Amino acid sequence: MMNIVVLDGHAANPGDLSWEPLKAFGALKVYERTAPDQVIVRAKDADIVLMNKIDMTDEVIRQLPKLKYIGILATGYNNIDTESAHRHGVIVCNIPSYSTESVVQATFAHILNITNQVAHYADQNRAADKEGEGLRWSRNPDFCYWDTPLPELSGKTLGIVGLGHIGQRVAQVALAFGMRVFAYTSKDQSQLPEGVYKATLDGLLHSSDIVSLHCPLTKDNFHFINADSISKMRQGTILINTARGALVDEQAIADALAGGQLGGYGADVMAEEPPRPDNPLFRQPHAYITPHVAWATLEARRRLMDICMANIKAFLQGEPINKV
């Protein structure tokens, strides 16, 4: 009988899905949240640990001698010391592609919110202004008004950094909008979808009206979007980040927004989650931050649970899938 422990189950399943199918594989214990100093105590008898954002460091892994399998309830696994896991004979599996459609949808929600200033106009027409004179549209002499640029996506250039499943779907949607699409990717041009053109990173930054990040976080690309790389962008470039917060230097983003080098920053991720209230991005009116929800549609989380089950079944049959 396998002992299965879910360390931070609330994010993937706040109550609208069921953990019951996992009981077919062994004894199940589900914790909604686990603090760092609780991980070893809670997982000490586990053969299988399932988790999302828990840090599984070498210090943790080597104190779990019964551990055989770590199942990440996510695609990204930068919070797992995979080298330590491999040294200790622990299989690590992630859940690829479950949230592709959801993240693509959120990416364009951010893009369209910035280009069409949805939040800006909604805010103006939700409450009275400082003088208490009522809703702005109600006081307008014309049938409409606008006080920001309203660019069309058609004809604009989107630069995509990272052309995996999500990046490729973002490219497809961008092409449907009539955009030009460049990609910074390790793939050859012959491997790119029709209408997508390979670019160097500097070339992409220099040429794009909108830059969207869709790459994993590694030790080599930490803060690769920084003051220097931002200076290579066109003035007013829109930056979108639905990948990982630490890909960008958040202070540099805030400075670029304040100075007008960036026209907007739409992000679903931050370097520290939950973020500190004094994060400089929260003081920038052209930074639009959502709380890491791009992946979390009900449909995506159902797929996540299904793939989690398939991963465990394959592992128990001695033929693990989605290994990292």
Residue 209, token pair as written in the block: 């009206």
The catalytically annotated residue of 273, 276, 283, 299 is 273
Q: Which of the following is catalytic: 110, 286, 292, 303?
A: 292
Q: Which of 110, 169, 214, 244 is catalytic?
A: 244
Q: How far apart are CA 98 and CA 297, in angstroms?
A: 10
C-beta separation of 295 from 3 below 8 A: no
Cis ω for the linkage preceding 277 (within 30 of 0): no
Assess whether 42 carries a catalytic annotation.
Answer: no
Residue 219 Cα distances to 3, 73, 78, 167, 200, angstroms = 33, 22, 9, 20, 20
b/e 199-212 (16+ beta carbons within 10 angstroms → b) = bebeebbebbbbbb
- Give the Cα separation of 177 and 269 in Å (integer): 25
Active site annotation includes 244: yes
**CA distances (Å), origin 57, targets 5, 69, 86, 271, 320:** 17, 14, 12, 18, 22
Question: What gap in Å lies between CA 80 and CA 52, rounded to an integer?
Answer: 10
120 included as an active-site residue:
no
Active site residues: 244, 273, 292
